[in-house]
Structure 1
């Protein structure tokens, strides 16, 4: 079970980084933090609606995987399955 917990910890780290990057790739809606960090510059670029939808789908799927990994690690900790 320790190998599974190590694999889940690695998966958590990878999904956390990827989720952060994907969220930062989203187009800013204006007036928020995205404008403060240069979102106003990228708003002049026209992005495809398909690309934005695919980015949304990937972000949601990765977010769900992240939540499942968090819950699994919590169950490991709660029931002391690590040994």
Structure 2
């Protein structure tokens, strides 16, 4: 059981770092780091590039994984008595 808790803790830390990087890569109103990777290639002000859409998807998946790992850690900690 301790191995599972350690694995979940590592997953939480890793996903936190990855999620922070993904959030910093998002384009702000004036541009951002994602412009270097092709995120600034838009035709109009209302549309977003493919890179920005994919970055949003990756951020949502990482955030969901992060939340699930935290909830699993809470359940394991509650019922194992650690």
- TM-score of the two chains, using structure 1 as the length reference: 0.75
Residues 20-74 of structure 1 show CA distances to partners (whole Å, capped at 9, x for unaligned) of 1100110113xxxxxxxxxx5648x562410000000000000000000000000
Unaligned residue ranges in structure 1 (runs of 5+) = 30-39
Structure 2, gaps ≥5 residues long: 42-48
Bigger relative CO (Cα 8 Å, ≥ 6 apart): 1
- Aligned twin of 1:32: none
Distance 1:70 1:22 in 2: 19
Which residue number in structure 2 is paired with residue 59 of structure 1? Answer: 59
Q: Could you tell me how far apart the structure 1 residues matched to 2:27 and 2:50 are?
A: 13
**TM-score normalised by structure 2 residue count:** 0.76
How many residue pairs match? The answer is 71
1:37 equivalent in structure 2: none
Q: Label 1:21 to 1:2 Cα distance change in 2 as closer, same or farther (>3 A).
A: same
How many angstroms does 1:77 deviate by?
Answer: 1.2
Is 2:40 the partner of 1:47? yes
